[in-house]
Amino acid sequence: MAKMDLAGKVAIVTGGGRGIGRAMALGLANFGANVIVTAARNPAEAEEVAAQASAETGRECVKAVAANVADEVDCQRVVEAALTSFGAVHILINNAGRGMRFVSEDFLERPTKFWETDAATWRMIIDTNVNGPFLMAKAVVPYLLRDGWGRIVNITMNQETMRRAGFSPYGPSKAALESETIIWSQDLADTGVTVNGLSPGGITESGMVPEQARDKFRRVMLDPAVMVAPLLWLCSEQSDGVTGHRYVAKDWDPLMPPAEAAQHARTTAGWP
């Protein structure tokens, strides 16, 4: 971890106001990066992340931006905020997402059949989870290509959950994001820009979990901070050339050298 110096790097973390996004934004800031944190529904949470990062680092290194990743104009505005505030953009963490709570608050106990899902809700989740990463990447990639170096990390989930009964459209949306990851990594081959997927590896303490289910799953819920160590490696120059892969954060062993930990945490099923 001590070798993961990201000083001088500028990152965008979408949906960075809570849960996994918050942990990743603070992790990046604490290891030297400047960070743009976006929030669509609760911009005050992103402002709190900026204040916490300043208190922890002694730097004004995080800027909060209210933005909806499903809106192309907002995505361009987020990139412009990075350029205006910090002079560059090097890293995109596509974390913003909408989960099954928008379909039903008790989805963990009583799954909703796909044909019972409201069509507008289906479109909203797909728009955020599939189109949002595309629009953000489309806005960021020209700057990464110009610099000849960059990172895109798409936050995904267990492949088993993508096939779980009653988990659409969230499961299909993350399966689509994994396809985007593989295809984009090939489109960007030999440019210095890498694209990888990162999953926590299980149910995680976040807003995705309904309040009434927290007691039942509290014992097995992962701390969002589990994402930080693999993320730092993926965003560092130590991972140059590593692209088109998928990593499971809970399988990352912090006692191993980072390259070995990465090999241990990498999944191969369906991935090159």
Three-state secondary structure string covering 79-91 = HHHHHHHHCCCCE
Q: Classify each residue of 53-69 as buried b or exposed e, where b means 16 or more C-beta atoms within 10 Å of its C-beta.
A: beeebeeebbbbbbbbb
Give catalytic residues, as residue numbers.
170
Residue 1 has pLDDT above 60, yes or no: no
For residue 76, the number of C-alpha atoms closer than 13 Å in the C-beta half-sphere is 3
C-alpha separations of 119 from 89, 105, 122, 134 in Å: 36, 17, 5, 21
pLDDT at 271 over 60: no
For residue 29 the two structure tokens come to 């800031």
What pLDDT score was predicted for residue 107?
Answer: 64
State pLDDT tens for residues 183-225: 999 999 999 999 999 999 877 776 666 555 555 555 677 899 9
- The reported pLDDT for the residue numbered 139 is 98
Q: Picking from 30-34, 102-106, 194-198, which range would have the lowest pLDDT averaged per residue? A: 102-106
Q: Which two tokens stand for residue 177?
A: 């994001």
Kind and range of the H or E element at 144? helix 132-147
CA distances from 159 to 53, 69, 254 (A): 33, 24, 23
Do 246 and 199 touch, CB atoms closer than 8 A?
yes
Whether the pLDDT of residue 270 is over 70: the answer is no
pLDDT score recorded for residue 238: 94
Separation CA 142–CA 145 (nearest Å): 5
Give the residue among 229, 221, 224 at the shortest CA–CA distance from 264: 229
Is this structure's pTM higher than 0.85? yes
Q: For the residues 119-141, what does the mean pLDDT come to? A: 97
Most confident of 30-34, 95-99, 213-217: 30-34
Q: What is the pLDDT of residue 160?
A: 78
pLDDT for the residue 210: 54
DSSP state of 204: B
pLDDT at 10: 98
Domains and CATH numbers, the chain: 10-267 (3.40.50.720)
Q: Which residues are CB-contacts of 92 (< 8 A; sequence separation ≥ 6)?
A: 11, 12, 14, 136, 137, 140, 150, 151, 152, 153
- Closest by CA position to 22, among listed 68, 58, 62: 62
The answer, yes or no, to whether residue 100 has pLDDT greater than 80, is no
d(CA 51, CA 37): 12
- The candidate with the shortest Cα–Cα distance to 65, out of 16, 136, 21, is 16
